[in-house]
């Protein structure tokens, strides 16, 4: 059996061994050990929910198979999510970076050229009527 498939609570609880948990569900441990596990379950709501869920399965001999199947499905779903996350990452694409830099450089060059051409052309200035009157008086 794959060791990764056996650890249903491996990342969530470091206080209890999974084999102890399976022995508790199968009633293979002593009363004192059973009491210790129940104390740990009272402290940890996640483990308590996990044990309650596993106790609902009637054929206790197939309990290990159910745990393995749950772990297999969980690993498959986690791997699927990892692959999806990898697809969304921006990959190292040098041609894309080159194209973006080239377009930005062209825009800067066009801006500079248009700015120089705009300075050389005489512009049309807005004049007010008072400026026209002053110009007319000075020209006479």
Percent pLDDT > 70 in the chain is: 69
Question: Is residue 14 in a domain?
Answer: yes
Supply the pLDDT for residue 87.
80
Assigned token pair, 93: 């694409």
Domain that holds residue 101: 92-122
- pLDDT (tens digit per residue) in 2-11: 455 345 545 5
Tally of domains within the chain: 2
Residues 63 and 108 in one domain: no
- Smallest CA-to-CA distance from 51 within 10, 17, 21 is with 21
pLDDT for residue 100? 93
**Residues 58, 59, 64, 70, CA torsion sign:** negative
Is residue 75 assigned to a domain? Answer: yes
pLDDT of the residue at 120: 59
Crossing angle (nearest 10°) for helices 45-55 and 31-43: 120
pLDDT tier, 107 (very low <50, low <70, confident <90, very high otherwise): very high
Q: How confident is the model over 128-139, as a mean pLDDT?
A: 69
Q: Are residues 68 and 51 in the same domain?
A: yes
Helix boundaries (H) for the chain: 3-6, 18-25, 31-43, 45-55, 63-88, 94-120, 129-139
pLDDT computed for residue 75 by the predictor: 92
* CA–CA separation, 29 and 34 (whole Å): 6
Q: Are residues 18 and 77 in the same domain?
A: yes
Task: Decide: residue 71, CB within 10 A, 0-12 exposed, 13-18 middle, 19+ buried.
Answer: middle
């Amino acid at each position: 059996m794959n060791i990764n498939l056996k650890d249903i609570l491996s990342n969530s609880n470091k206080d209890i061994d999974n084999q102890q948990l399976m022995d508790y569900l199968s009633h293979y441990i002593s009363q004192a050990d059973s009491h210790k596990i129940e104390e740990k379950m009272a402290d940890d709501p996640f483990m308590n929910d996990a044990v309650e869920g596993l106790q609902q399965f009637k054929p206790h001999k197939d309990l290990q198979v159910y745990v393995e199947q749950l772990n297999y499905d969980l690993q498959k779903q986690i791997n699927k999510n990892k692959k999806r996350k990898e697809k969304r990452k921006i990959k190292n694409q040098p041609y894309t970076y080159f194209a973006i830099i080239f377009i930005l450089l062209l825009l800067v060059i066009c801006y500079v050229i248009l700015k120089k051409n705009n300075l050389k052309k005489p512009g049309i200035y807005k004049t007010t009527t008072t400026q026209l009157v002053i110009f007319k008086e000075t020209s006479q």
